[in-house]
Amino acid sequence: MKQTSSRLTTQRMTRLALLAAAAVVLGYIEGILSAFMLLPPGIKLGLANTVLLYSIYLLGPGYSVILMLLKVILTGFMSGNLASAFFYSMGGGALSLLMMLLTRSIGRESVSIVGVSVVGAVFHNVGQLLVAALILRTPGLMFYIFPLMIAAVVTGVITGLAGRQIVRVLRIPGSSDPFQAKGGEEL
Amino acid sequence: MAENEKKPLMKKRDLFIVAALLLVAVAGMAAVKFLSPNTATGSAKIYVGSYVYKEVSLGEDQVIEIDQGNDIVNHVEIKDGAIYMSDSTCPDQQCVGQGEISMDNYEQRVLRNWIVCLPNQVTVELTLEDEG
């Protein structure tokens, strides 16, 4: 028994590390892509959010919080200016995850993974912009939330559809490993 | 066989969330457009953080250097009635990509009368005023 649980712990740790790495790399690639495409600031696909969707649906809230923190801290270390990048992504990541978990628990049967993803995308931008307005102390910038919201709804639908496929493929229905899957839950 | 049934991509409640968020966004954009001051004054403020670093007139061609030490330097340039970030030491170069603001184009820009360099905390605001 003891052996099983410690084996599981190692497995969980490795899986979390893998997921965190995937999230960081997706975020990094996306950063390069959006700089290359000269998109307006703050607008991006949010590919890394597919990893969080995976963890919200398959691993539960606790592991999702750990993953979000890992992603924010690692991304902070990778960028040149730790402090400001850290606060922006923390603001976005924390508010986004909180709202996704709320949407999921309130919406249970009636809201799918796509709705959860859209809420996450929008509140990621809200969180980042709030932090930016706090740091710069320029409330005049808050108007920018509205164009950002439109972009986030579109990208949220896209990443939500992608997230649904990812969860479908990666889950193992009926698995005895509680870390693997919660059966054939509807997405 | 039920599993093979074609399911809709989104549920009703998802569509409701999407519609509600889009409605808020469009209403917000309309409010910003109609309620915010609508006349450009021809001057602009350059901020470092929340402090006004310099107030400049768009009528006067010049290059303003904002040197915050520690190799954090931005150059704001005014040329032919337009103001823009000509270069910045920030990693993402978003601010340079945001292009120029002039008296005529600010209503069409995504960031309206602003240029923002988040990493270096330098912002440029074309000053707006209410008519009359």
Tokens in use for A4? 């099983």
Q: Which residue of A has its CA nearest to B32?
A: A143
Q: Does residue A185 belong to any structural domain of this protein?
A: no
Q: Does residue A10 belong to any structural domain of this protein?
A: yes
- Number of domains into which chain A is organized: 1
- What's chain B's average pLDDT? 88
Question: Is A133 in the B-facing interface, judged by CB distances under 8 Å?
Answer: no
Q: Which residue has the tokens 């954090």?
A: B72
Q: How much is the pLDDT for A1?
A: 41
Long-range contacts of B82-85 (CB under 8 A, 24+ apart): B82/B58, B83/B44, B83/B56, B83/B58, B83/B115, B83/B124, B83/B126, B84/B115, B85/B115, B85/B117, B85/B122, B85/B124
Q: Chain A partners of B28 at a C-beta cutoff of 8 Å?
A: 143, 145-146, 149
Please tell me which of the candidates B13, B14, B91 has its beta carbon nearest to residue A80: B91
Is B125's pLDDT higher than 60?
yes
Angstrom distance (rounded) from CA A73 to CA B13: 34
Question: Is A187 in the B-facing interface, judged by CB distances under 8 Å?
Answer: no
Q: How much is the pLDDT for A94?
A: 96
DSSP β-bridge partners for residue A129: none
Q: Does residue A95 belong to any structural domain of this protein?
A: yes
Helix (H) / strand (E) containing B101 = strand B101-102
Are residues A136 and B50, on separate chains, in Cβ contact within 8 Å?
A: yes
Q: Chain B partners of A79 at a C-beta cutoff of 8 Å?
A: 91
Fold of B40-129: mini-chromosome maintenance (MCM) complex, domain 2 (2.60.320)
pLDDT digits (tens, 9 = 90+) for B31-70: 988 888 878 888 999 999 888 999 999 888 999 999 998 8
The answer to whether the Cα torsion of B99, B48, B113, A30 is positive or negative is positive
Angstrom distance (rounded) from CA A3 to CA A161: 38
Q: Does residue A119 belong to any structural domain of this protein?
A: yes
Q: Chain A partners of B119 at a C-beta cutoff of 8 Å?
A: 80-81, 84-85
Q: Does residue A21 belong to any structural domain of this protein?
A: yes
Three-class SS of residue A146? helix
Average pLDDT over residues A145-169: 93
C-alpha distances in angstroms, A119 versus A103, B107, B125?
Answer: 8, 28, 30
pLDDT digits (tens, 9 = 90+) for A39-94: 788 888 989 999 999 999 888 899 899 999 999 998 888 876 666 778 888 999 99
Residues of the domain holding A136 = 2-170
Cβ-proximal residues to B96 (8 Å cutoff; 6+ apart), any chain: B84, B85, B86, B87, B88
What is the pTM assigned to this prediction? 0.85
